[in-house]
Amino acid sequence: MTTAALPSLNLPVYRLTLRGLFSGRRILALAALALVPVIAATAFAAGGEVEPDLFWARLLQRLVIPTITAFIAVVIGASAVADEREDGTILYLASTPLSRLTIILSKVAAAWTVTLALVAPALVLAGAIALRGDATAAQFAWPLAGVALAGLCYCAAAAWLAMLLRRPVVIGVLYILLWEGSIATFAASADRFSVAAYGRAIAVEGVIDVNAPDTSAAAAIVVLLAVTAIAVWAAARRMTRTELP
């Protein structure tokens, strides 16, 4: 009874989820998607009509965070839970003494790991090409932090959607396209409810300020972490109340 202190990660469940996410063809499709910024940077390096710093900032704000990271993290985060709900294997995890928070936390951690494994190397490669070797550490560190935190937040929110709905990927992608990709771009206040906006705010901190939301990087970090915590908690709570699988 006294062991119910802090929710912890369960390594076997984390590893199991990793294996599940890495098996199948989906991971190959997402890896190909992660390479799009590299292709874009290569094309620009050949053309060279924009200032490298500016190009890098635009690439991060308009492609890497709101499209590539968002899409990959939502698909992976949702799948980490939804695959097992769909086929029923989640029942094996549910019939263990593990707290629901531990199960969700381990799954979100695995989804985040996979997301970063796909996006981070492509990001570094794209940056190296776009900035033509003329880059500071901050020009990589802040974008990586932005991708990591936005990715974590997307993973957690998608895991919650997967506990809530039968088609979490469809709903998650619709949110990215309609809300973050469209409404939030012309209605400035809608930006406050956009994960990508906070991710962008962090990512461009060390680059240059173009078209960045009016949030400071520090505030954005706090918001993303808070949303992540709430989503994980809500998903775990949902897991105790909803009918499984």
Residue 8 near other proteins by CB under 8 A: no
Q: Which of 27, 94, 190, 208 is in the footprint of other proteins by CB under 8 A?
A: 94
| Binding segment toward other proteins, per CB under 8 A, in 6-14, 51-59, 72-80, 224-232 | 6-14
Subset of residues 186 to 245 that bind other proteins, contact rule: CB under 8 A: 240-241, 243-245
Encoded tokens for 86: 């769909």
Residue 42 near other proteins by CB under 8 A: no
Least Cβ distance, residue 23 to other proteins (angstroms): 5
Task: Tell me the residue type at 121.
Answer: P
Q: Which of 8, 12, 174, 177 is in the footprint of other proteins by CB under 8 A?
A: 12
Residue 89 near other proteins by CB under 8 A: yes
Q: What are phi and psi of 152, to 5 degrees?
A: -60, -45
CA distance 157 to 77: 8
Least Cβ distance, residue 243 to other proteins (angstroms): 4
| Binding segment toward other proteins, per CB under 8 A, in 38-46, 82-90, 155-163, 230-238 | 82-90
Give whichever of 96 and 216 is closer to other proteins, judged by the CB atom.
96
HEC states along 125-173? HHHHHHCCCCCCCHHHHHHHHHHHHHHHHHHHHHHHHHHHCCCHHHHHH
The closest of 60, 65, 63, 70 to 207, measured between CA atoms, is: 60
Q: CA torsion sign, 83 to 86 to 89 to 92? A: positive
Least Cβ distance, residue 133 to other proteins (angstroms): 41
Encoded tokens for 75: 């698909």
CA distance 109 to 117: 12
Subset of residues 100 to 159 that bind other proteins, contact rule: CB under 8 A: none
SS3 211: coil
Residues that bind other proteins (CB under 8 A): 10, 12-13, 16, 19-20, 23, 87-89, 91-99, 240-241, 243-245
